[in-house]
Amino acid sequence: MADNDTKDPPPPYSSLEPQPPLMTYEQVIHDINNDVTHKTVPYYVEKEPVKLEAIIVTQHTVLQGKNKSQGGCSQKTKCLVGWLVALLLLFGIGLAIGLGVHYGSKQNSGNYNDQNNGADDNYGDNHSGDSNQNDDDDHEDKNHIPDICSNSNLKCDGIKNCQQPSDETDCVRFGEGGVLQVKTAQEGQFLPVCYQGLDKSYADQICAQLGFRSSYSSSPVQGYTSAGLTLEPIADKLIQGLVNVSSSCPDEKAVSLQCTDCGKQQIASRIIGGSISNPGQWPWQVSLHFEGQHVCGGTLISPDFVVSAAHCFKGAMKNAVSWLVYPGAISQLNLPTAYLVKTITVHESYNSDTNDYDIALLKLTRPVDFSTTVQPICLPTFDQIFSGNQECWTSGFGTTTQGADHASSSLMGVKVNIIDTNLCNSTKVYGGAISNNMICAGDLNGGRDSCQGDSGGPLVCKAQNQQWYLSGITSWGAGCGEKNRPGVYSRLTSLQSWIYSTMQEEKP
């Protein structure tokens, strides 16, 4: 968390005695292609997997025939029978060897490919006794095996026709004011859901479909005179299969639905320009530890899920069982209760060269207990706009100066400005490197920025309703706090549909 205006930096992280990692690592803070710095510390370097040549041991049976001086075959028939038996025996041995080589090579080939796909599989073999390892393997399969759909597939018809099932995951979203919108196969576009007929059990079922445990609140919103979706009686179906298109909603009321009590800051006292955080100030911030060391940040979005950056989970760091999550942490010297990670899902389109789609979702093995110091952040609506006029902050345990050896021992927060994308993409800033899935924040004059170790942490903005919304995920930048080099974050309004889809697939 770089803050060049802070006169008294927080205590150095060097007072900690971190355990050495199991693998060789080095800090990688420079990208020669874009002159950028990934905001993570440390980055673990994958070891080249050992390539073993298969050794096949075969046993040959040598049949020694008697020569004529030793008597030979006494009868011609016995000789023929003996040779036939010998040939059949040799044929059987050859067939067994062939089958063994065939299936053995397939298995060895699969293991070799797994090694080449990343050191996480090689590393995971050392933890094969842990049941969570199977969950991590499932995650790998989902990211690489194409989804298989039936010929009768209709997107958003309420029937799961695909194996994973991707045809029914991107069918629900939230608009301005939290208005529930659903896409149906009948209409093919998102329409507001009418309020009439929605009770607490109906709201709970909709939120559970999205990966939440229940609903928090629902209320009517006036003024919906155009087409909407009326509710059928509740049944064990997806919401897109329980609505009908109507020319307008009864009483012109649509439903506003909130699945979690989110975005409420318990302590509001802050110092502009950066400060050490107090308990409950950023209650959605989590510290992610890999092999006993803080590596990245994350943001709590529900009792079961944390969002972070995809680049935090490379190679061996994809191994879910090696991570610990600390919600509510404000000091690395006094960590709260840790939570285990069940699965890590990295966006399937993540590009490590361009940093595009730099987002990952962590599912925890058990739900987090909320308190005054541990609370989830609100996810933005699909059309929510974050601008320089809003109050926005970024937080994390990253280094306080560029090139520092250790992360901060204290959680730091700094106020930043949302920077117009066109300006951030100009030649004097990042020259076209900012995609539609990125948002820039900081200060073009320098001095207020995230830094190494802040990766995966939150960029949050306060809305008019006084709730805080997750607008970005700390991703990359050139240096820390430099002029015309603001921080770059993954844009949540572009990626929130992926979050809901993944939560729906991984729901508790």
- 3-class DSSP string for 99-110: HHHHHHHHHHHH
Side chain identity at residue 479, one-letter code: G
**Half-sphere exposure of residue 428, counting CA atoms within 13 Å on the CB side?**
5
What are the structure tokens assigned to 477, written together? 């930048």
| Closest listed residue to residue 50, CA positions, set 125, 136, 127 | 125
Q: Are strands 448-449 and 2-3 parallel, antiparallel or unpaired?
A: antiparallel
Judged by DSSP in three states, 33 sits in: coil
Asked if 328 and 374 count as a contact pair (C-beta separation under 8 A), the reply is yes
Separation CA 169–CA 324 (nearest Å) = 28
203: left (phi over 0), alpha (psi -120 to 50) or beta: alpha
Catalytic residue IDs: 311, 358, 455
Query: In this structure, are residues 242 and 158 in contact, taking their beta carbons and an 8 Å threshold?
Result: yes
Element (H, E) at 500: helix 492-506
Cα–Cα distance, 300 to 90 (Å, whole number) = 65
Question: Which residue, chain included where needed, has tokens 């009483």?
Answer: 251
3-state secondary structure of 369: coil
- Enter the tokens of residue 102: 């065939």
Please say whether the beta carbons of 147 and 165 come within 8 A: yes
Q: Which amino acid, one-letter code, is at 48? A: E
